[in-house]
Amino acid sequence: MKRSRTPHRPLAALSRRLMLIFCAASIVAVTLPASGQSPAPELIITSTSSLPGDPTAVEVRLVNPDRQVAALTFSLEFDASRLAFDGTGANGQLASVETSLPAPFRLSAFYFPDQARVGISIYSARTPVAPIPEGLVARIHFTVKQDASGFAFVRLDPTPGPDAADLMGESVSLGVQNSQSGVSVVAGNSVLSLAPQQVSFGSVP
């Protein structure tokens, strides 16, 4: 059945609240690179492989942040026919979503089970606002379903697309690399078997 593409009101509201944080905060001025002089930051989702029934995880990474990013908001969609997601948690904290970013950064995550989507925001919770370091920003855990096979996609949802702000609260354009991201499900019953006549040993003098 085709899922309806309903507006992500909770995620959109969260994005607006994040923008207000930066508009209201007292932030010292910084010098930003001129437009066109440096590549735009990118979000990359890693791929992995796993056996049916096993836990697995994909990572979201921030690369090339030449223009400093202080807040991120994005939504992931995943293949619910092959992957199970544990959406337990409260107050923006989900057991299956984690970050290794140091303080003062905070991660908030919300699960939309009817659309198989996870909304995530990452931001600096103190002033002066700090830039998000390059590298791993979030790890999302799944369990591969027992009857799964083939490839299970996990990708950034383009509707709405990722949103970001710099140290001054100005919008930052983000590139996305996730066209082939997800989990390759490896068959778990592939066992090599040989008949005795297929095995030949050399003679020992």
Provide the token pair at 199. Answer: 């095995």
Whole-number pLDDT of residue 188: 64
CA triple 84-86-91, angle to 5 deg: 150
Position 128 pLDDT exceeds 50: yes
Higher pLDDT, 31 or 80: 80
Q: C-alpha distances in angstroms, 181 versus 12, 98, 142, 176?
A: 24, 19, 14, 11
How many Å apart are CA 135 and CA 158, to the nearest integer? Answer: 22
Whole-number pLDDT of residue 179: 64
Window from 17-31, 40-54, 144-158 with minimum mean pLDDT: 17-31
Provide the token pair at 135. Answer: 């590298």
Q: Which of 84, 120, 123 is nearest to 101 (CA)?
A: 123
Higher pLDDT, 93 or 177: 93
DSSP H or E run through 49: strand 48-50
The whole-model pTM stands at: 0.73
Please answer whether residues 105 and 121 qualify as being in contact, where contact means their C-beta atoms are separated by less than 8 angstroms.
no
Position 203 pLDDT exceeds 50: no
- The pLDDT mean for the chain works out to 78
Provide the token pair at 54. Answer: 């096993």
Confidence band, pLDDT 50/70/90 cuts, at residue 38: low
**For 129-140, b where at least 16 C-beta lie within 10 A, e where not — what string?**
bbbbeeeebbbb
Position 129 pLDDT exceeds 50: yes
How many Å apart are CA 42 and CA 33, to the nearest integer? Answer: 16
SS3 24: helix
For the residues 25-47, what does the mean pLDDT come to?
A: 58
Whole-number pLDDT of residue 187: 80
